[in-house]
Amino acid sequence: MSQKNDPLISRRSFLARAAGGAAVALTAGPIGLLLGRAESGEPAVPAQDSRIVRVARPYDAETRVHEFLSWLTPNDRFFVRSHFGPPPPDQIDKAAWRLTLSGLVDHPLTLTFDDLSKFEEVSVTSVVQCSGNGRAFHRPQAPGVQWERGAVGNARWTGIRLRDLLRRAGLKPNARHLQLQGADRPVAATVPLFVRSLPIEKALHPDTILAYQMNGAPLPLLHGAPLRLITPGWMADSCVKWLTDLTVQAEEAQGYYMQTAYRYPIRPVRPGEVIAPQDLKPVEAMIVKSLIAQPQQGATLPSGNVMVQGVAWTGEGRIMKVEVSTDEGRTWEPARLVGDDVPYAWRQWQFLWQTRGSGLRTIHCRATDDRGQVQPMTSPWNPGGFLWNGADRVRVRIKEA
């Protein structure tokens, strides 16, 4: 089995198999040290990290899909995407940290962490997914972190409505976009900052929140402490971590991370084709997708009844149907949707598979949402390798009866 398709491979064997010597020495460095330490003095990355590390520094790691048997993804197993890594702890220390809101507003604001408690507290359970999740499956391969299946998770986020803050400041009539920036900084000043923006409609959406808690715990350092944006239904490139600066503007944010990266073609494109800038628009809403959490890739199973389980989600809509195929996609049978149907969260599903015969089998799953979007077998190629939502597949071996 190839390493690229086996998300369960351990970090150590990955390193052992990857280019040796220098590469190993470089990637196996003291990650906790480089990432800075959380307030408690604990290393930011736990010594026992069960995630699959894609990039050691700045830290990018995905969740092993069997974790998705749990509806909520635990904080220390939740995927991490860092552009530059966490800022130095003193800058995001709750006493020193400030959030500013300026630009096209009547009353610019500067808030301390304690000031946040003056706003109504709200919670939303939402999927957060990296736009590059599944990039490794695009052919030809697109440059970027080669995420496979686990750059996604479902968590309960608690904080305040972004809308309440914007209303407190008062928007000027020409306010169209909200620019977001965090306290994280690149190693070299020549690298563009991670500056993003959100159309004002999404910023004013009642479910868009500034979160300071994740699954009931203070937001962990790797997930953006002390405050990050959560845009339910949208890809995580909007969910800026270590948030410090909000600027209301008439235009989209400038710079590499808004104008070049995280863009998707509005028409089908061929690999290598030159795409005019006006034919690329920012990645925003998630699209329909599902994953098989069990059985695991490469598992050997007794013949008879096999419980296939997983999760399915879509952007700002609902999951209507999940189907499973055990014959390479020729025929599909409906799975049972289980658990609660909560907006923005993922839906769990189960399928009881009665195996026939023995040997290698492939299980596929695909979801359909309330807009009639169905997962394709493979997603359209695009230069950034974004929005992969090809039917999920797992290879297993059925033992002889």
Partner 1 sequence: MNDRRARLYSGHLFVLILAALWLAFLTTGRAQEQTTRQTADQQTQRLLAARCAVCHSTDLIQQQRLPRDRWEATVKKMVHWGAQLDATEEAMLVAYLATYFHPEAGPVVAPPAAPRSGEEPGAAPNQPGVPARGAALYKHNCLPCHGEAGRGGMGPKLARNPILSQEDRFRATVRQGRGAMPPWGDVLRPQEIVDIRAWLTTIPD
Residues near partner 1, by CB under 8 A: 2-5, 17-23, 25-27, 29-30, 33-34, 53-58, 60, 140-141, 143, 145-146, 186-192
The item of ligand HEC, partner 1, none sharing an interface with residue 276, based on CB under 5 to 8 Å by kind, is: none
* Residue 83 lies near ligand HEC (rule: CB under 6 A): yes
CB-nearer residue toward partner 1: 47 or 95: 47
The item of partner 1, ligand HEC, none sharing an interface with residue 140, based on CB under 5 to 8 Å by kind, is: partner 1
Distance CA 388, CA 144 (A): 13
The item of partner 1, ligand HEC, none sharing an interface with residue 54, based on CB under 5 to 8 Å by kind, is: partner 1
Residue 157: CB atoms within 10 Å: 25
Q: Which of 95, 188, 274, 360 binds ligand HEC (CB under 6 A)?
A: 188
CB-nearer residue toward partner 1: 2 or 354: 2
- Reference 244, options 344, 101, 146, 143; nearest CA is 101
Element (H, E) at 17: helix 11-17
CB-nearer residue toward ligand HEC: 170 or 186: 186
CB-nearer residue toward ligand HEC: 95 or 188: 188
* Alpha-carbon dihedral 288, 239, 212, 169, rounded to 10 degrees: -120
Q: How far is CA 301 from CA 6, 7, 67, 354, in A?
A: 17, 19, 19, 12
* Residue 217 lies near ligand HEC (rule: CB under 6 A): no
CB-nearer residue toward ligand HEC: 18 or 191: 191
Distance CA 196, CA 258 (A): 5
Contact 89, 184 (CB under 8 A): no
CB-nearer residue toward ligand HEC: 26 or 352: 26
Q: For Cα atoms 13, 15, 20, give the angle at the middle one, nearest 5 degrees.
A: 125
Closest approach of partner 1 to the CB of residue 333, in Å:
32
Q: How far is CA 175 from CA 41, 143, 250, 253, in A?
A: 41, 35, 5, 13
CB-nearer residue toward partner 1: 189 or 276: 189
Residues 109-148 that bind ligand HEC (CB under 6 A): 143-144
Distance CA 174, CA 305 (A): 61
Kind of pairing between the strands at 99-103 and 243-249: parallel
* Residue 173 lies near ligand HEC (rule: CB under 6 A): no
Closest approach of ligand HEC to the CB of residue 61, in Å:
13
Q: Which two three-digit tokens encode residue 359?
A: 């040997």
Distance of CA 126 to the CA centre of its chain: 11
- Reference 391, options 330, 348, 340; nearest CA is 330
Q: Which of 21, 30, 41, 140 binds ligand HEC (CB under 6 A)?
A: 30
* Residue 232 lies near ligand HEC (rule: CB under 6 A): no
* Residue 86 lies near ligand HEC (rule: CB under 6 A): no
| Interface contacts to ligand HEC, rule CB under 6 A | 29-30, 83, 143-144, 186-188, 190-191
